[in-house]
């Protein structure tokens, strides 16, 4: 569905991404793992131009859209890319002055210019899908963190994207709310949504992802199917990361 080639990104002379390549098939779930500062979030933000890569390219394999980041990107191409992808953020990024329902309706009404009646019906169905049909008229301040993030997921689905980008969707949640969000993501994976998820939830990545990408220092260190990645890692840096992760999980269990 999508080929990503040689993505580079600098911030104030610091090279954060050093040539990232990734191919994604329709319906594939890709989990991106790695230590803090490895470039995971920057890479994700580059995919819908929240950050402008310095070089590299995106190619939709159906021939509908090609973007060369070394060239000036037209507004039309920028809008076309953003209409084909949705982002779910760490901190929810809901409009505080809009209800849950209005947050879900915002994109299709404002960006896609669809009718309010049509969008309202679908938005209510999406809130029901994420278990929030009774919260439609509540504002973000009246919702728990897990509920806000589920509204964020419903909002991402509302524009019917080809690709959903999720940036550590559980990292800002209290432990009691993590499970409810992960259950929704498991449901979306089972339904065949194409997703790239930056996450630190190892068991979730193992259970749900088709492909694991491990990044460190702005490069892809290892890429493999989930089973082989966790059971038979190939690179020493990957093995070290997984051992450290297991040690942290054990310490958390013992507290």
Alpha-carbon gap, residue 40 to 138, rounded angstroms: 33
The pLDDT tens digits for 94-113 are 999 999 999 999 988 887 88
| Helix (H), strand (E) at residue 250 | helix 236-254
pLDDT at 249: 52
All domains in the chain, ordered by first residue: 2-84+169-254 (3.40.50.300), 95-160 (no CATH)
230 three-state secondary structure: helix
Phi, psi angles (nearest 5°) of residue 53: -60, 155
Nearest residue to 49 (alpha-carbon basis) of 93, 9, 82: 82
The pLDDT tens digits for 120-154 are 999 999 999 999 999 999 999 999 999 999 999 99
The pLDDT tens digits for 40-52 are 999 999 999 999 9
pLDDT at 86: 93
Mean pLDDT for the chain?
Answer: 91
State yes or no: pLDDT of 247 exceeds 70: no
pTM value surpassing 0.85:
yes
């Amino acid at each position: 569905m999508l080929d990503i080639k040689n993505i580079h990104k600098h911030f104030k002379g610091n090279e954060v991404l050093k040539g990232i390549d990734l191919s994604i098939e329709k319906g594939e779930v890709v989990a991106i793992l790695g230590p803090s500062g490895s470039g995971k979030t920057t890479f994700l933000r580059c995919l819908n131009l929240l950050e402008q890569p310095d070089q590299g390219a995106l190619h939709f394999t159906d021939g509908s859209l090609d973007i060369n980041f070394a060239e000036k990107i037209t507004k039309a191409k920028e809008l076309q890319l953003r209409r084909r992808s949705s982002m779910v953020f760490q901190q929810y990024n809901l409009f505080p002055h809009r209800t849950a329902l209005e947050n879900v309706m915002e994109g299709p009404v404002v960006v896609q210019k669809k009718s309010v009646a049509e969008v309202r019906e679908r938005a209510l169905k999406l809130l029901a899908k994420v278990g929030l049909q009774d919260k439609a008229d509540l504002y973000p301040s009246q919702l728990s963190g897990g509920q806000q993030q589920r509204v964020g997921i419903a909002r991402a689905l509302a524009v019917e994207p080809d690709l959903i980008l999720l940036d550590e969707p559980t990292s800002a949640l209290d432990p009691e709310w993590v499970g409810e969000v992960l259950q929704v993501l498991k449901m979306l994976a089972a339904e065949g949504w194409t997703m790239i998820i930056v996450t630190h939830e190892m068991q979730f990545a193992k259970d749900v992802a088709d492909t694991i990408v491990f990044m460190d220092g702005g490069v892809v260190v290892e890429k493999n199917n989930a089973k082989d990645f966790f059971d038979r890692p190939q690179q020493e840096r990957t093995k070290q990361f997984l051992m450290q992760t297991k040690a942290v999980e054990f310490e958390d269990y013992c507290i």
